Amino acid sequence: MSLKGTGTMLKWLSKYACIFYLLTLSGLTFLFCNMNILEWNYNCPLGLCNIQSEDPPPLERKQTFCSHLDKEPSAEEALEELDLLESNSWPGPPHQLTSIPIEKTSDPAHSLFVILPAEGGRMRQVGDQLEARVIINDFKGNPKSYGGDFLLARLHSPQLGAAIAGQVLDHKNGSYSAFFPLLWEGPVQAEVTLVHPSEAISVLRRLREERPDRVLYGSMFRSGLISETTMCNLCLPTSEQPVCNYTDILTGDPWYCYKPKQNLSCDKRINHFRAGYQNDLLTHQETILFQSAVNIKVRIHATGSDSVTVLPNDKDKPGAEDIFVWSRPGWTTPSGYYYQWLWRGLGDVLIREYNDPAAITQCLKGKMVYMYGDSTVRQYYEFLTRFLPELKEFNLKTPARAGPFMAVDIGNNIMLKYRSHGPPISYIPLSIIQLHYIANELDGLVGGSDTVVIISIWAHFTTFPLEVYIRRIRHIRRAVVRLLDRAPETLVVIRSANLRGQSLKECPIVSDWFAMQLDRVLRAMFKDVKVLLLDAWEMTLAHHLPHNIHPPHPIIKNMINTILSHLCPEVVQN
Ligand SMILES: *[C@@H]1O[C@H](CO)[C@@H](O)[C@H](O)[C@H]1NC(C)=O
Ligand SMILES: *[C@@H]1O[C@H](CO)[C@@H](O)[C@H](O)[C@H]1NC(C)=O
Ligand SMILES: *[C@@H]1O[C@H](CO)[C@@H](O)[C@H](O)[C@H]1NC(C)=O
């Protein structure tokens, strides 16, 4: 047997053995065998590594990030983590990137999509599904032979203000299918965008696993007249310098700073801030994969028409009611769609429009609303404090973006609070006294029918391996479950990640691909918990407004409509 054959066989055996153990033996064995997979991929036994360029891409790293610095997960948790990592695995080029010339990478200008004809050539009706086939070609116009391109698809009717997110399926041979549910009558137009070529995804994946230091964090230590600033992160190479351990005692979330060289002990740390970004992240060849207007978020053109006309459904009575029965087995239904640019959820709660401050006040009367996370949840705080005249902001004299913030309407007994999540929050200097983990905050809430909790935590996690996010969300989920156990009437809203603007500079730090992976993890981890999942991903994907880390006002308004409609399900009388 050739060397290559042996290597493949060994890999296959360790994988097969692992599945066997998984099915039959205990969690302990499982962890042990998981480590074996790692060894074959990451060590280079017998110099086998150089054959990997011909093999399928290696399994994604299953090793936990900073595992030597964090609590050991239970067998059940480790299994969930493995599942999440597997379901987020992403196909990539079968060759090493350095061996792929740029002209052989995916080029949206040479790629195309075609709307497939309906079965039997009949006209499409409300309730049907539209499929578009996407063919990705390289810069020479030759079809790609492997998958892994990151595509987005939406279907819209500009004249109706209607739009919905499409679902993209990777056939792993250079072709993709985009599926769109047809939920309204009239002309509809499909739109397909290449966010990143698969070769760029390989770069992003490498950065995520190998360079969790892409955002730099610092802290100042001070005592009397002595002060010193050192670097901090979730994980620091400990061999270089002694570290201070700020791992949270309750949640176990890790955080470290280098110990000051001067005579300053670890408890003299006073603040936390973003110290900048790494800028030596991409090689010259890699930067060619991230060119605005060339291969970052560029539309793919249709061959033939990009539009079809949707007729009323002739089986049942026509109209909007039909949408509620739309579903396809084994398919994640979209969570909603826009009509006249108003978001209509496909769940069982009717989403109403709140145009009048009095109606919002009526709904929030007697409520305490706690918002935790990053600036994408702070937008709701800002929206409400601007929109409701009776809601007065209490000046806590905290930093502009980081907060915490508080607003009250004494007459209607409404309180709004915003607090940012703990490290790795990346803002201007923030007192370490304000660095609170969401899980610990939730453990401090009594909860009940007058309590609303809104959580959005994703934007500051894009630079870390998925395991970091999985662990953070696990701690939050446990706290949400405890809260709902003691106060089942509490409304807990989990806001998902959203799309944002992308450029060469931003991609290595905040690519939508990173956010998409976090988003999938978040959905999967909360799917069995009684929370409202606010689908910011689809709401920004479907909308015609440009992608922005802080979605523009009309989208925020639709998100507020969604939250309030769930909080006050019966019609509000003015
Ligand atoms: C940091 O502290 C945590 C909890 O107190 C502990 O589990 C972990 O091992 C410590 N890390 C190091 C590098 O000592
Ligand atoms: C790619 O795979 C899909 C699904 O299996 C198939 O329909 C399509 O014909 C394939 N395309 C090519 C170019 O092989
Ligand atoms: C370091 O600080 C401690 C307490 O502040 C003090 O007792 C000690 O003398 C200092 N050591 C040096 C070398 O300055």
Tell me which amino acid residue 330 is. Answer: G
Residue among 573, 540, 571, 572 nearest 558 (CA): 540
In the block, residue with structure tokens 């997110």: 165
Gap between the Cα atoms of 465 and 306, Å rounded: 38
Measured over the CA atoms of residue 337, residue 341, residue 343 and residue 344, the dihedral's sign is: negative
d(CA 302, CA 297): 16
Q: What is the DSSP string of 41-103?
A: HHS-GGGGGGGGGTSSPPPPP-SPTTGGGSPPPPHHHHHHHHHHHHHT-----SS-GGGS-GG
Answer yes or no: are the C-beta atoms of 370 and 436 closer than 8 Å.
Answer: no
- CA-closest residue to ligand 1 atom 9: 69
| Residues 388 and 436: beta-carbon distance below 8 Å | no
pLDDT at residue 569, as a whole number: 86
Closest residue (by CA) to atom 2 of ligand 2? Answer: 171
Q: How far is the CA of 265 from the centre of ligand 3 (A)?
A: 10
Residue at 146: amino acid letter: Y
Nearest 5 degrees, angle CA 153-CA 157-CA 158?
A: 105
Q: DSSP labels for 284-338?
A: HHHHTT--BTTTBSEEEEESS-SEEEEEPPSSS--SGGGGGG---TTS---SEEE
* CA–centroid distance, residue 393 to ligand 2 (Å): 58
Residues 565, 568, 569: CA angle, nearest 5 degrees: 70
- Around ligand 2, the residues with Cβ closer than 6 Å are 171, 173, 175
Q: Evaluate whether 97-202+290-320 and 339-567 have a shared fold.
A: no
Q: Which atom of ligand 1 is nearest to the CA of 238?
A: 13
pLDDT, one tens digit for every residue, the chain (574 residues): 333 333 333 333 333 333 333 333 333 322 222 222 222 222 222 222 222 233 333 334 444 456 555 667 788 988 999 999 999 999 989 888 888 999 999 999 999 999 999 888 889 999 899 999 999 999 999 999 999 999 999 999 999 999 999 999 999 999 999 999 999 999 999 999 999 999 999 999 999 988 888 999 999 999 999 999 999 999 887 677 899 999 999 999 999 999 999 999 999 999 999 999 988 899 999 999 999 999 999 999 999 999 999 999 876 544 444 443 444 333 456 899 999 999 999 888 899 999 999 999 999 999 999 999 999 999 999 999 999 999 999 999 998 888 999 999 999 999 999 999 999 999 989 999 999 999 999 999 999 999 999 999 999 999 999 999 999 999 999 999 999 999 999 999 999 999 999 999 999 999 999 999 999 999 999 999 999 999 999 999 999 999 999 999 999 999 999 999 999 986 544 4
Predicted local confidence at residue 313, as pLDDT: 85
Q: How far is CA 401 from each of CA 218, 238, 246, 398, rounded to the nearest angstrom?
A: 18, 32, 23, 9
CA distances in angstroms from 479 to 46, 79, 364, 409, 438, listed in the order given? 47, 20, 24, 28, 8
Query: Is 272 within 8 Å of 435 (Cβ atoms)?
Result: yes
Contact 149, 91 (CB under 8 A): no
Q: Rounded to whole angstroms, how far apart are CA atoms 218 and 228? A: 10
Distance (angstroms) between ligand 3 centre and the Cα of 227 equals: 14
SS3 state of residue 214: coil
The CATH code for residues 97-202+290-320 is 2.60.40.10
For the chain, the domains span 3-87, 97-202+290-320, 215-277, 339-567
List beta partners, residue 84: none
The CA 143 to ligand 2 mean position distance, Å, reads 12
Cα–Cα distance, 292 to 272 (Å, whole number): 33
CA distance 99 to 542: 37
CB count in 10 Å sphere of residue 349? 12
- Reported as type and span, the H/E element at residue 151 is strand 150-157
Q: Look up residue 113 and give its two tokens.
A: 């999509």
541, 180 Cβ separation under 8 angstroms:
no
Number of neighbouring beta carbons within 10 Å of residue 465: 22
CA distance 164 to 332: 13
What distance in Å separates the CA atoms of residue 282 and residue 290, rounded to the nearest whole number?
Answer: 10
Which atom from ligand 2 is nearest to the alpha carbon of 173? 1
Residues whose CB falls within 8 Å of the CB of residue 3, separated by 6 or more in sequence, listed in order: 46, 48, 51
CA torsion 42-43-45-51 (nearest 10°) is 40
Provide the pLDDT for residue 65.
56
Which tokens is 54 given? 């011909």
Q: Cα–Cα distance between 201 and 513 in angstroms, integer?
A: 8
CA of 303 to the centre of ligand 2 (A): 18
Beta bridge partners of 280: none
Q: Dihedral sign, CA of 346, 349, 350, 351?
A: negative
CA of 232 to the centre of ligand 1 (A): 15
Give dist(CA 2, CA 58) in Å, integer: 19
pLDDT value at position 401? 86
Q: What pLDDT does 332 receive?
A: 52
CB neighbour burial string for 203-236, b if at least 16 within 10 angstroms, e if fewer? bbbebbbeebbbbebbbbbeeeeeebbbebbbbb
Backbone phi and psi for residue 13, each to the nearest 5 degrees, phi listed first: -60, -45
Write down the residue that tokens 């409404």 correspond to: 414
**Ligand 2 centre and the CA of 171: distance in Å?**
6
Q: What angle do CA 251, 444, 535 make, to 5 degrees?
A: 75
Tokens describing residue 181: 């549910």
Ligand nearest to C-alpha 247: 1
The C-alpha atoms of residue 522 and residue 533 are separated, in whole angstroms, by: 9
Q: Superfamily for 339-567?
A: SGNH hydrolase (3.40.50.1110)
- Read off the tokens for 102: 């740029």
Tokens 């919905």, residue located: 164
Which of 66, 247, 256 most suits a substitution to test ligand 1, by most atoms within 8 Å of the C-beta? Answer: 247
Instruction: Quote the pLDDT of residue 55.
Output: 36
For a mutational test of ligand 1's pocket, the pick from 69, 249, 266, i.e. the residue with the most ligand atoms closer than 8 A to its C-beta, is 69
List the beta bridge partners of residue 256. 233, 245
Please give the pLDDT value at position 475. Answer: 95
**What's the rounded Cα separation, in Å, for the pair 467 and 86?**
12
The first and second tokens of residue 271, run together, are: 């603040």
